[in-house]
Amino acid sequence: MPKQAKFTQGSTLKHIVTMSFTGALGLMIMFLVDLVDMLFLSMLDEREAVAAVGFASAIMFFTISLCIAVSIAAAAMVSRAIGSGDIELAKRRAVNVLAYGILFSTVLVYLVWPNIPHILLYIGAYGRTLDLATDYLQIVMLGLPAVMIGMIGSGIMRALGDARRAMYATLVGGIVNAVLDPILIFLFRLDVQGAALASLIARFSMVAVSYYGVVHVHKMLGEFDLMDFFKDVRPISYIALPAMLTNVCTPLANVIVMEYASSYGDDVVAAVAIVGRVIPVVFGGLFALTSAVGPILGQNYGARRFDRMHNTISSAVTYSFSYTAVVCLCLFWSKEWLIVMFSASKETAEMIRFFATYISFSFLFQSLMFIAIAAFNSLGKPFNGTMLNFCRATLGTWPLIFFFTLFMDAKGVWMGQAVGSIIFGSIALVMVRRFINELESKEVNEIELKESLPYDDVA
């Protein structure tokens, strides 16, 4: 059980780095396991098997995004309670978010599972690919409540400042999946169903690790009370639902980019696909900022440490700048190696060089968006983050891509997206700075008002 709010003391930059790197490692393990899945299935010499997992993954991406949204709510609510010193409230919120997540994910499985073949058919799967994708998804989907529990558990541990154990859940899940894949696919000759079963078992291993950390190590689950649960449903939904909408905005922007890229031919689409595989791995440290910044701000907001809240934003920007500079230099130096590794054609190679030389830096501004979204989620204004990300995915993508492709052709697709990130990332940073100033001014005014009242009125 936590005796004090860890993030209200010590270097905010150190907290940002620790939380981001542990979160990034967990994300990278997930992406690498996906690549291992595809690698093993490609060894079956059955093109439909790889395509089937690709279609199924598109559906799982959306469902897992919903799990991430609820885990954001868990981290925000528990961290604020910890920061204010109310451990019992933190326990109550932890158990109620967990109940909320289990109920939500169970209903989602109930609604999606019978309609899996129809959904896959709608997004373009057919024939044997449709059959294999249905088999895969019907098995993996059963583990969605386990994913929800594992992610909420990780969110609670991040709220407590235990970044290491929060990472263990994803790490153990990835290792279990990677070990079971070849056993079930090749040794037991289960093919696509073997890959699905490996993923399902891995999801339940995440539950075991999260349960151990939250219950046995931190003793952070209070007794479930139905009336308390109904009281907390509204504040949980107030954070979780906008976070779900925010997570949907990224694939929306990706669809717009892919639609424009496809008009320039397969070589350009191949470049977008290759870069799309590289980005999650190399920029994982920036994507992890969303789960890193939130708990730190939440604890300090609960403790009313506005000075540390300002420092947290500054530290996050410093971390983003340093990380992006290193990664962009590495990408620039290794661009020719990437071209050779992916056997890129002349036009594809030209696009990869353009991204590594001119476009990769724009991820600094995307990280400013991640920081702002995390801050708004933790400080009680989640719809601000949703609005920002939606505007970036629409106004910051389609019109700018249309404009830059007029005189840059295919390269204008990435240039338009990069300029959109620069504009809305800058706006996001200004908005979150102003919002923290408003919270601080409001707190100061309330304190001055109480001090100005006679003692009897205050009592």
> 70 with 54: CB under 8 angstroms?
no
Residues 131, 253 share a domain: no
162 with 25, same domain: the answer is: yes
- Give 166-220 as a DSSP string: HHHHHHHHHHHHHHHHHIIIIIS--HHHHHHHHHHHHHHHHHHHHHIIIIIIS--
Q: Answer yes or no: do 36 and 75 share one domain.
A: yes
For residues 203 and 288, membership in a common domain is answered with no
Distance, CA of 68 to CA of 251 (rounded, Å):
15
Report how far apart the first and last C-alpha atoms of the chain are (Å, whole number): 33
* Phi, psi values for residue 453, rounded to 5°: -80, 150
**Cβ atoms of residues 116 and 139 within 8 Å:** no
Given 224, 253, 273, which residue is the final one in a domain? Answer: 224
Q: How much is the pLDDT for 456?
A: 52
Q: Cα(377)–Cα(298) distance, rounded to whole angstroms?
A: 9
Q: What is the predicted pLDDT for the residue at 459? A: 44
> What was the pLDDT predicted at 117?
95
Q: Are residues 279 and 200 in the same domain?
A: no
Does 263 lie in the same domain as 150?
A: no
pLDDT of residue 13: 92
Residues 322, 446, single domain; the answer is: yes
Q: Which two tokens stand for residue 210?
A: 């999260």
Query: Are residues 284 and 138 both part of a single domain?
Result: no
User: Is residue 2, in this structure, part of any structural domain at all?
Assistant: no
Is residue 235 situated within a structural domain? no
Count of the separate structural domains present in the chain: 2
Whether 232 is in a domain gets the answer no
Tell whether 18 is covered by a domain: yes
Looking at the fold, whether 217 and 278 belong to one and the same domain comes out as no
Provide φ and ψ at 3, rounded to 5°.
-90, -20
> Based on the domain organization, do 75 and 150 belong to the same domain?
yes
Please check whether residue 363 lies inside any domain of the structure. Answer: yes
Final residue before a domain boundary, out of 190, 224, 258: 224
Question: Torsion over CA of 286, 292, 294 and 295, rounded to 10 degrees?
Answer: 180
Structure tokens of 399? 């019109």
Domain final position from 189, 224, 259: 224
pLDDT tens for the chain, 459 residues: list them: 455 678 999 999 999 999 988 888 877 777 667 667 766 877 787 768 877 876 787 788 778 888 888 999 999 999 999 999 999 999 999 999 999 999 999 999 999 999 999 988 887 788 888 999 899 999 999 999 999 999 999 999 999 999 889 888 888 988 899 899 999 999 998 988 999 999 999 999 989 999 999 999 999 988 899 999 999 999 999 999 998 888 878 777 877 887 788 888 878 887 887 887 788 778 888 888 888 899 999 999 999 999 999 999 999 999 999 999 999 999 999 999 988 877 788 898 999 999 999 999 999 999 999 999 999 998 989 999 999 999 998 899 999 999 999 999 999 999 999 999 999 999 999 999 999 999 999 988 887 777 776 655 544
Residue 85, Ramachandran bin (φ over 0: left; ψ between -120 and 50: alpha; else beta): left
Specify whether 137 is located in the same domain as 20: yes
Q: Look up the pTM and report it.
A: 0.85
- The domain of 142 spans 10-224
Tokens of 356: 């590594």
Q: Which amino acid is at 206?
A: M
In a domain, 1, yes or no: no
Q: What's the maximum distance between 2 C-alpha atoms anywhere in the chain?
A: 82
218 and 258 in a common domain? no
Q: Is residue 238 part of a domain?
A: no
Give residue 170's pLDDT: 84
Alpha-carbon span 239 to 241, nearest angstrom: 6
Q: Between helices 266-282 and 12-42, what is the axis angle to 10°? A: 130
User: What span, in angstroms and rounded, lies between the C-alpha atoms of 181 and 170?
Assistant: 16
**Does 234 reside within a domain?**
no
